[in-house]
């Protein structure tokens, strides 16, 4: 086992975390699910009763769980003797994992998938969690680098890896101020599977040893919509009929107003056009519903079992885990977090459903994927609500261009698949499968 010198950055980090405990607990207190006890945040999980070995995959929230779905299924298939425990920081992420668990039960598959909340990164909580879970392998998705959890894994002899490693330029600038701490944490990792050369270079600049980094591509390209999502999309599409339908997914505050304005302008040309509006965070569903009513447009809410009729202008997708289904039922898809300075969201989800992809200019978190779609002629970019409305009108007039964009998106996704296989091959070095 490699020795890691200079633990003082982690000690200072832990001291700061203890001092900030009231703020930390205030933040996570509302991230609660009735299926999980809050003591899990202190690493107080029940010791597994089954004798089967365990894998551990940590994803921050619902977006990461969705992006990790191909990896989750592949790990369960590749390590058939193991159970897989997925941890999340947020309640919405927990709900998404439970939805995957329910889908596996309905398909008659063994119950080898479990969920816990990740412990707060206090030294004691981290040690308790790792000791009780006793995983054979620990995986951290994208940028989930927790110094004390990594140290606890090293202490207990658990091999660790970051998969789909992502570090945006903006995040890098922030982490660079904490380089001694990051270098200490990254030095604990056995392997980092970066999604691009740029991400790999930024991790190297923070102190990740070059010999333990491989560029494997983005796991997001390995997303394959399941049969249930495809069938649900077809049913919804049949119900909606031939009217113009566009979806705005993963939207944020300050963005919904612009989207509703663009939709109002679109309806001047297409009075029966329907917007399927899907806010990113469920705690905002009610507020977005009220905002829509205030705009004067007729609303139907999916969570209430309401179906949009010809008079409905906005269909609120206020349910969890159905974004792919809603994307697949639309003629055009706008991916949110891109008209406000959030950095965008997963552009490949609508592309994988065969739906043309529209985005705003704020794409810092998905710059490499945006560039790949751009080069493949599969991305439509707009500057603001006015240009969005004009673009929607143009595309609804041009069925051939919509078809071309959809086919181009599918081609980009297909051409860039392969990160999943490379990731599994890399993990074999840490834990042989089968």
Catalytic residues: 64
User: Beta-carbon neighbour count of residue 420 at 10 Å?
Assistant: 22
Q: What are phi and psi of 152, to 5 degrees?
A: -65, -40
CB 306 within 8 A of CB 298: no
User: DSSP secondary structure string, 192-229?
Assistant: EEESSHHHHHHHHHTT--GGGEEE---GGGG----HHH
Residue 86 carries which DSSP code? E
Count of H-run helices and E-run strands, the chain:
18, 14
CA distances from 332 to 79, 177, 358 (A): 39, 41, 7
Query: In b/e form, how buried is each residue of 199-221, taking b as 16+ CB within 10 angstroms?
Result: bbebbeebbbeeeebebbbbbbb
User: DSSP secondary structure string, 293-309?
Assistant: HHTT--EEEGGGT----
Q: How far apart are CA 15 and CA 396, in angstroms?
A: 57
Q: How far apart are CA 133 and CA 427, in angstroms?
A: 19
Q: How far apart are CA 369 and CA 221, in angstroms?
A: 9
User: How many alpha carbons lie under 13 Å from residue 16 in its C-beta half-sphere?
Assistant: 10
Q: Going by C-beta distance under 8 Å and a sequence separation of 6 or more, which residues neighbour residue 222?
A: 70, 71, 417, 418, 419, 420
Q: Give CA 181 to chain center in angstroms.
A: 26
142: alpha, beta or left? (left if phi > 0; alpha if psi -120 to 50):
left
Terminal-to-terminal C-alpha distance of the chain: 25
């Amino acid at each position: 086992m490699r020795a890691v010198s200079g633990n003082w950055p982690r000690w200072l980090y832990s001291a700061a975390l203890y001092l900030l405990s009231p703020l930390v607990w205030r933040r996570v207190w509302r991230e609660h699910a009735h299926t999980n006890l809050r003591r899990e945040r202190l690493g107080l999980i029940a010791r597994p009763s089954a004798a089967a070995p365990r894998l551990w995959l940590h994803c921050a929230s619902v977006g990461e769980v969705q992006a990790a779905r191909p990896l989750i299924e592949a790990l369960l298939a590749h390590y058939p003797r193991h159970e897989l425990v997925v941890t999340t920081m947020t309640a919405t992420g927990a709900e998404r994992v439970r939805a995957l668990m329910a889908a596996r039960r309905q398909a008659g598959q063994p119950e080898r998938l479990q969920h816990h909340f990740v412990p707060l990164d206090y030294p004691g909580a981290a040690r308790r969690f790792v000791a009780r879970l006793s995983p054979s392998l620990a995986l951290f998705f994208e940028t989930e680098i927790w110094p004390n959890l990594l140290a606890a894994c090293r202490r207990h002899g658990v091999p660790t890896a970051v998969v789909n490693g992502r570090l945006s330029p903006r995040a890098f600038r922030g982490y660079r101020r904490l380089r001694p701490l990051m270098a200490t944490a990254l030095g604990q990792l056995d392997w980092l599977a970066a999604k691009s050369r740029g991400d790999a270079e930024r991790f190297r600049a923070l102190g990740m040893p070059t010999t333990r980094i491989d560029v494997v591509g983005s796991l997001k390209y390995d997303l394959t919509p399941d049969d249930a999502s495809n069938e649900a999309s077809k049913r919804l599409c049949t119900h909606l009929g031939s009217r113009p339908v566009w979806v705005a997914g993963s939207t944020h505050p300050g963005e919904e107003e612009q989207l509703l304005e663009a939709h109002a302008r679109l309806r001047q040309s297409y009075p029966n056009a329907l917007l399927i509006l899907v806010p990113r965070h469920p705690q905002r569903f009610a507020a977005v519903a009220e905002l829509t009513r205030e705009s004067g447009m007729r609303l139907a809410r999916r969570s209430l079992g309401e179906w949009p009729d010809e008079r409905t202008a906005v269909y609120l997708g206020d349910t969890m885990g159905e974004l792919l289904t809603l994307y697949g039922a639309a003629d055009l898809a706008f991916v949110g977090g891109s008209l406000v300075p959030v950095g965008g969201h997963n552009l490949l989800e609508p592309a994988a459903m065969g739906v043309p992809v529209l985005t705003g200019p704020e794409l810092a978190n998905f710059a490499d994927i945006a560039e790949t779609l751009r080069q493949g002629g599969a991305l439509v970019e707009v500057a603001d609500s006015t240009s969005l409305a004009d673009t929607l009108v143009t595309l609804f007039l041009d069925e051939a261009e919509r078809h071309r964009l959809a086919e181009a998106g599918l081609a980009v996704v297909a051409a860039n698949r392969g990160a999943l296989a490379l990731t599994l091959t890399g993990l074999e070095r840490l834990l042989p499968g089968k």
